[in-house]
């Protein structure tokens, strides 16, 4: 069912839910000023220096030109450094609540969420290419490729690139939460990048109701019990209206 605002029926479903899981994507940060990767129904893709995101954020480019990969991520860090979370970065209280994000921007944490499953990593962290130590790397603009604090070797952004596996233990926790959920939100994602886009499918198969929040219909809309057509920062606070 396609809706434009949260109805009493939906609010009642929300209030009765016990185990809630949420999958967020770039769209939840759009109202904070973060560019999304895809627009126009998923047909146009963000390009930078003439290359599409899928090439810039790829394991292939990391092998052939790691400096360019850092430049691309540092460019995005520059865009992010002044931004604040928005009302879409909400965290309602439930018996069990799992926040799964594809975003690497850290804005859920900036909004106060402590337990965020970052299935695509975090742009403010680096990972050593030799010893795999991870460490915070907040300097932007970068003067050079960050070096590992432990062994001194070159590091890379601690993010998942196209052509790489997701961090196994984090994704397993996300899948388990999707399968336990009685309500599963899909917010601000075009739901075209797998395996993250498979989480609402797993939730649905395990019996969850699916609520999508997006100003556009997406590849996952057919699966959603409700698609709330609108901006996350305007729609999500409506669920909390009578909860205080
Ligand atoms: P996309 O850019 O593919 O999709 C963003 C979605 O947000 C679109 O469906 C928009 O309609 C929607 N949107 C825009 N403004 C919104 C708003 N105010 N409120 C709610 N929704 C809004 O972003 P993702 O689905 O996150 O992966 O992309 C998935 C992955 O592809 C990313 O994690 C990244 C990317 O390339 C890697 O880099 C590995």
All domains in the chain, ordered by first residue: 1-34+86-120+166-244 (3.40.50.1220), 38-82+121-159 (3.30.1600.10)
Q: CB neighbours of 9 closer than 8 A, spacing ≥ 6?
A: none
- Torsion region of 33: left, alpha or beta (phi above 0 gives left; psi -120 to 50 gives alpha): left
CB 214 near ligand 1, within 6 Å = yes
Residues in the chain with pLDDT < 70? 40-43, 242-244
Instruction: Please identify every residue annotated as catalytic.
Output: 120
CB 147 near ligand 1, within 6 Å = no
Residue 244's pLDDT is what?
47
Residues 169-203 pLDDT 10s: 999 999 999 999 999 999 999 999 999 999 999 99
Residue 187's pLDDT is what?
98
Distance CA 163, CA 161 (A): 6
Tally the C-alpha atoms within 13 A of residue 67's C-alpha that lie toward its C-beta: 2
Question: In terms of residues, how long is the chain?
Answer: 244
Residue 44's pLDDT is what?
85
CB 142 near ligand 1, within 6 Å = no
Distance CA 40, CA 67 (A): 31
Distance CA 7, CA 142 (A): 47
């Amino acid at each position: 069912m396609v809706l434009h605002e949260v109805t009493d029926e939906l609010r009642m479903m929300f209030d009765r839910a016990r185990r809630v899981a949420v999958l967020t994507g770039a769209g939840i940060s759009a109202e904070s000023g973060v560019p999304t990767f895809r627009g126009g129904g998923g047909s146009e893709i963000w390009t930078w220096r003439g290359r599409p995101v899928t090439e810039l954020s790829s394991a292939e480019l990391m092998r052939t030109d790691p400096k360019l990969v850092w430049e691309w991520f540092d460019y995005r860090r520059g865009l992010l450094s002044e931004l604040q979370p928005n009302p879409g970065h909400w965290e309602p209280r439930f018996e069990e609540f799992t926040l799964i994000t594809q975003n690497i921007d850290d804005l859920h944490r900036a909004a106060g969420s402590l337990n965020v499953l970052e299935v695509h990593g975090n742009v403010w962290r680096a990972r050593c290419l030799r010893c795999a130590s991870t460490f915070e790397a907040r300097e932007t603009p970068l003067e050079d490729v960050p070096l590992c604090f432990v062994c001194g070797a070159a590091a890379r952004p601690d993010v998942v690139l196209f052509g790489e596996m997701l961090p196994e233990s984090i994704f397993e926790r996300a899948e388990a939460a999707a399968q336990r959920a009685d309500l599963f939100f899909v917010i601000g994602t075009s739901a075209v990048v797998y395996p993250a886009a498979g989480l609402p499918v797993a939730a649905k198969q395990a019996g969850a109701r699916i609520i999508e929040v997006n100003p556009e219909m997406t590849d996952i809309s057919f699966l959603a019990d409700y698609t709330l057509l609108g901006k996350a920062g305007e729609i999500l606070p409506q669920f909390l209206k009578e909860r205080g």
